[in-house]
Amino acid sequence: MDLFDIVFYCFALIAVGSAVVVVFSRNIMYAAFALLFAFFGIAGLYVLLQADFLAVTQILIYIGGILVLMLFGVMLTNRVVDVDIKTGTLQIVPAAILAAVVGGSLSGVFYSTWSTVSGTPSDVATTTPAIGEMLMTSYILPFEIASIILLVALIGAAMIARRKT
Partner 1 sequence: MLTEFGRVLIFFIIGAVFVAGGLVTAWLIRPNRPYPSKLTTYECGEVPIGDTRVRFNIRFYVIALIFLIFDVEVVFLFPWALVYSQLGWFAFVEMVIFIVILFVGYAYVWRKGDLDWDRPAPKIPTFEKGVGVREDHLLEEQVVGS
Partner 2 sequence: MEFFIISVIKIVIVLLIILTVVANLVYVERKVSAAIQNRIGPNRVGPWGLLQSPADVLKLFIKEDIVPSTANPFIHSLAPVISISVALVTFAVVPFGGSVELFGHQVKLMIADVNIGVLYILALTSLGVYGVTLSGWSSNNKYSLLGGLRAAAQLISYELSLGLSIIGVVMISGSLELDRIVEMQSGFQWNAFLTPIGFITFIVASFAETNRLPFDLPEAEPELVGGYHTEYSGMKFGTFFLAEYANMITASSLIVTLFLGGWQFPFLETFGLPAMMATVVQVLTFVTKVAFVLFFFIWIRWTIPRFRYDQLMNLGWKVMLPLALVNLVITGGLILAGLF
For partner 1, the closer of residues 79 and 86 by Cβ is 79
122 binds, among partner 2, partner 1, none (CB under 5 to 8 A by kind): none
For the bound state, the minimum distance from the C-beta of residue 111 to partner 1, rounded and expressed in Å, comes to 27
CA distances 148 to 54, 61, 144, 154, Å, are 22, 18, 7, 10
CA distances 118 to 33, 82, 113, 128, 156, Å, are 36, 50, 10, 22, 44
Crossing angle (nearest 10°) for helices 28-48 and 67-76? 180
3-class SS of residue 3: helix
36 binds, among partner 2, partner 1, none (CB under 5 to 8 A by kind): partner 2
For the bound state, the minimum distance from the C-beta of residue 119 to partner 2, rounded and expressed in Å, comes to 22
Is 63 an interacting residue with respect to partner 2 (CB under 8 A)?
yes
54 binds, among partner 2, partner 1, none (CB under 5 to 8 A by kind): none
Contacts of 12 (CB under 8 A, 6+ apart): 41, 45
For partner 2, the closer of residues 120 and 128 by Cβ is 128
Taking a C-beta distance cutoff of 8 angstroms, is the pair 14, 44 a contact?
Answer: yes
Residues that bind partner 1 (CB under 8 A): 4, 7, 47-48, 50, 52-53, 57, 60-61, 64-66, 68-69, 72-73, 75-79, 81-82, 123-126, 128-129, 131-133, 135-136, 140, 143-144, 146-148, 150-151, 153-155, 157-158, 161-162, 164-165
